[in-house]
């Protein structure tokens, strides 16, 4: 076939030799494939997996999972420690982190388009859970499965802090659990104890009660405190403003900011639905009623007495204002205590800050006749599994979900990076109990009494509205509230505008 010079020295490979070499190559290729296959999900069976605890963890060795998460401490800490999960399971996990709005967009497109580029998602209760709840695996079908490892503490409501499982796991149906509590941000009050003590005499002379903060302090008193500090500041005194709201560009936290005050007064909620379960058809909104108009008036008064940068401060910026010593008090999420207590970045560290539950409702401001409570809301980030993934990938993802929410990992995150645990048992550790008092090496633990022993418990805990249109709801509410705070609309006009838009949104 090919040209060959007549004098060329040439030793052709015999047909036998050629077949021998080919056979050897094919055998090696097959052996290699078999070795890889034996180490992967293809060869594992559930019977084999059930044979031992180690086999249960290693049944999906060789798989790769992608976890899309918000850029919060647990994900950073777990990413640092991901090698231990790999050694335990043989599963490679890539953790991608981004800002919540970006995570929401990416997760939403992935879930709703039937893809599973992200096998695991960070399910932030309302921004991600409420609109995409139908696209996650029902984890309750995996609880108790003897071919999968199980956490010894279980996954029931009792294993987590009060209401956490409902917050991120239950949407529109009682018996379906779409996520396990992975990360928590619960609101509580941060206040400058040193400033309160220094000015209590002047305050008492003007308002008739001591300048202090505890679980009985009401929203009306918060308004007094804000006005007191603002008057002193404008009078030339070297003091910060008294208070500031979360009224910046992040719509969800803007909604949470006003919701706390609304719920404190007679447990007012936006829609007449089960707040913890949510509803796909919430019906007509309660906005526009007498109580809501009164609350908006008070919220506006509080806004006027707050730090002038109120409308530019999202949650993170607000904390910066507090850390820099420009306000004396903020209602903030307890995960921020770690940054407030850091002396390198905060003038409010070193015992100057004390923590208390969120302010309580005031009888003078309550037209509902309902109870006065310390309205406390939160963002509970769950970890959920994409239902578009194959069954094997879902089961592999389950291994990571239960590992990342286990007692040990939650403790490691708390101690290592200042995370916030979701499992109750973490607080039973002796060093965590001790860390709740100063001096402490776990600054977030200083908030645990206000948050875990008080705020998250009923009747103070408020969650909703869990509705499929949650993100548009947040956007409308933020926009209307900001316009009211700017003086563009009156509280009554704002309440009416919100009612009109929410009812339109929900096809009422």
Partner 1 sequence: MTDVTNFENKSMLSGAAQLFRAREHSVEVEARPLTDALPAPTIFNPPAPKRYYLYLMAPAIAVLAFISLYPFFWLIVMSLQSVDIGSSEWVGFRNYARLLKDPNFLSGWGLLLKYSAMCLFMQLAIGLMLAVIVNNHRYEKYLVTALLMPMMMAPAVAGLLWLFLYNGTFGWYHWILQSLGILDSASILASQSTSMYAIVLVDVWQWTPLITLIALAGLKKVPRDQLEANMVDGASPIRNFFAITLPNLYPVLLIAILLRFMDNFRFIDHILVLTGGGPGNSTKILPVYLFEVAFKFFKLGRGAAIALTLLIVTIVLGMILVRVFDKPQSERK
Q: Which of 113, 140, 141, 437 binds partner 1 (CB under 8 A)?
A: 113
Task: Tell how many helices (H) and how many strands (E) occur in the chain.
Answer: 20, 7
Torsion, CA 442, CA 447, CA 452, CA 458, rounded to 10: -170
Query: Does the protein bind partner 1 through residue 379 (CB under 8 A)?
Result: no
Q: Interface mask (CB under 8 A) for partner 1, residues 445-474, using x and -?
A: ------------------------x-xx--
> Considering the complex, what minimum distance in angstroms separates the CB of residue 507 from partner 1?
12
Asked if residue 401 lies in contact with residue 122, where contact means CB atoms within 8 angstroms, the answer is: no
Nearer to partner 1, 246 or 276 (CB): 246
Number of chain positions touching partner 1 (CB under 8 A): 40
> Considering the complex, what minimum distance in angstroms separates the CB of residue 197 from partner 1?
25
Partners of 385 in beta bridges: 120
Nearer to partner 1, 44 or 323 (CB): 323
Please name the residue that has the structure tokens 């890889």: 36
> Considering the complex, what minimum distance in angstroms separates the CB of residue 497 from partner 1?
8
Give yes or no for a cis peptide into 197 (omega within 30° of 0): no
DSSP 8-class letter at 317: H
DSSP 8-class letter at 366: -
C-alpha–C-alpha distance, residues 228 and 208, integer Å: 12
- 165-168 long-range CB contacts below 8 Å, 24 or more apart? 166/276, 166/277, 166/463, 167/125, 167/276, 167/378, 167/380, 167/382, 167/463, 168/123, 168/124, 168/125, 168/129, 168/380, 168/381, 168/382
Query: Does the protein bind partner 1 through residue 312 (CB under 8 A)?
Result: yes
Query: Does the protein bind partner 1 through residue 483 (CB under 8 A)?
Result: yes
Query: Does the protein bind partner 1 through residue 214 (CB under 8 A)?
Result: no
Interface with partner 1 in residues 320-349 (CB under 8 A): 320-321, 324, 326
Q: Which of 475, 492, 496, 503 binds partner 1 (CB under 8 A)?
A: 475
Q: How are beta strands 64-70 and 92-98 bridged, if at all?
A: parallel
The tokens describing 474, both together, are 């947040």
Nearer to partner 1, 101 or 370 (CB): 101
> Considering the complex, what minimum distance in angstroms separates the CB of residue 101 from partner 1?
7
Query: Does the protein bind partner 1 through residue 247 (CB under 8 A)?
Result: yes
Positions touching partner 1 (CB under 8 A) are 101, 104-105, 108-109, 112-114, 131, 247-251, 308-313, 317, 320-321, 324, 326, 469, 471-472, 475, 478-486, 488, 504
């Amino acid at each position: 076939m090919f040209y060959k010079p007549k004098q060329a020295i040439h030793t052709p490979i015999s047909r036998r030799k050629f077949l021998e070499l080919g056979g050897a190559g094919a055998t090696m290729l097959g052996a290699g494939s078999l070795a890889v296959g034996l180490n992967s999900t293809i060869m594992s069976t559930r019977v084999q997996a059930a044979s031992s605890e180690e086999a249960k963890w290693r049944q999906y060795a060789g798989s790769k999972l992608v976890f899309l998460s918000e850029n919060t401490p647990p994900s950073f800490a777990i990413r640092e420690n991901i090698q231990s999960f790999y050694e335990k399971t043989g599963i490679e996990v890539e953790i991608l982190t981004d800002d919540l709005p970006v995570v929401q967009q990416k997760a939403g497109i992935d879930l709703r388009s039937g893809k599973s580029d992200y096998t695991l998602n960070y399910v932030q209760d309302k921004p991600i859970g409420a609109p995409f709840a139908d696209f996650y695996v029902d984890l309750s079908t995996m609880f108790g499965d003897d071919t999968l490892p199980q956490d010894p503490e279980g996954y029931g409501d009792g294993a987590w802090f009060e209401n956490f499982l409902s917050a991120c796991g239950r949407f529109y149906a009682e018996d379906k659990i779409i996520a396990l509590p992975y990360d928590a941000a619960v609101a509580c009050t941060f206040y400058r104890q040193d400033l309160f003590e220094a000015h209590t005499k002047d305050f008492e002379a003007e308002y008739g009660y001591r300048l202090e903060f505890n679980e009985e302090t009401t929203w009306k008193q918060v308004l007094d405190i804000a006005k007191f500090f603002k008057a002193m500041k404008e009078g030339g005194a070297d003091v910060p403003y008294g208070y500031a709201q979360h009224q910046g560009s992040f719509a969800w936290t803007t909604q949470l900011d006003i919701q706390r005050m609304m719920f404190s007064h007679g447990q007012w909620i936006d829609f007449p639905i089960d707040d913890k379960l949510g509803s796909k058809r919430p019906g007509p909104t309660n906005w526009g009623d007498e109580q809501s108009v009164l609350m908006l008036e008070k919220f506006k008064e509080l806004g006027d007495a707050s730090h002038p940068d109120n409308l530019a401060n999202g949650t993170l910026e607000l904390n910066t204002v507090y850390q820099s010593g420009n306000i004396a008090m903020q209602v903030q999420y307890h995960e921020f205590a770690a940054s407030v207590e850091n002396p390198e970045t905060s003038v409010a560290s070193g015992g100057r800050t004390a923590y208390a539950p969120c302010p309580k409702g005031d009888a003078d401001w309550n037209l509902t006749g309902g109870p006065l409570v310390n309205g406390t809301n939160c963002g509970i980030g769950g970890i959920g599994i994409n239902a578009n993934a194959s069954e094997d990938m879902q089961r592999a993802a389950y291994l990571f979900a239960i590992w990342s929410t286990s007692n040990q990992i939650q403790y490691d995150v708390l101690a290592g990076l200042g995370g916030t645990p979701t499992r109750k048992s973490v607080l039973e550790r002796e060093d965590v109990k001790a860390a709740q008092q100063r001096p402490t090496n776990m600054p977030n633990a200083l908030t645990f009494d206000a948050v875990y022993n008080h705020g998250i418990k009923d009747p103070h805990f408020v969650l909703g509205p869990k509705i499929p249109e949650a993100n548009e709801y947040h956007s409308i509410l933020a926009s209307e509230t900001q316009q009211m705070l700017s003086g563009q609309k009156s509280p009554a006009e704002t309440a009416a505008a919100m009612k009109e838009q929410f009812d339109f949104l929900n096809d009422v």
